[in-house]
Amino acid sequence: MAIYDYTVLDRKGNEVSMADFKGKVLLIVNTATGCGFTPQYKGLEELYQKYHDKGLEILDFPCDQFGHQAPGDDEEIHEFCQMKYKTSFDNFKKIEVNGENEIPLYTFLKSQKGFAGFTGIKGAIMNQVVGKIDPDFKNNASIKWNFTKFLVDREGNVVERFESTVEPKKIDEKIEQLL
């Protein structure tokens, strides 16, 4: 299967074919509104403003699997993002990214790019936090935390996975290369 074979649900519950994004560069992110990484919404919006007209789409999938940091329903999450971070990219329906209820799109994404390792100042902290939850976390492809980002090229290839410790601005140059 290819990324364009999957369907997802928008925040109102309508099916959206990933094929609708053919020819676009995608940044697919599992997000949360009450997380230490939530301020990354600002950086995501900056990338969206800078590159949307050139073909970038940001697909925002709220996820409550990590510390229950995405409370509220889909509309409340959307309103929070618009009010607090002035996001103009749309939020999709809240999902699960790991386990028996994970959406097939995330099963596919993880099969294409495994865990990339935590980096930066917050990397050591995340290694400790996630290591307590899953001692074998470095050896499996599961999503470790909120704001894991998958970069997909215009042909639908998953080219890179960025863990939650990677700020959106650090992805800018890679997005520009793909556009």
Residue 81 appears among annotated catalytic residues: no
- Single out the catalytic residue among 8, 25, 29, 35: 35
Please write down the HEC assignment for all residues of the chain: CCHHHCEEEECCCCEEEHHHHCCCEEEEEEECCCCCCCCHHHHHHHHHHHHHHHCEEEEEEEECCCCCCCCCCHHHHHHHHHHHHCCCCCEECCECCCCCCCCHHHHHHHHHCCCCCCCCCCHHHHHHHHHHHCCCHHHCCCCCCCCCEEEECCCCCEEEEECCCCCHHHHHHHHHHHC
Catalogue the active-site residues.
Answer: 35
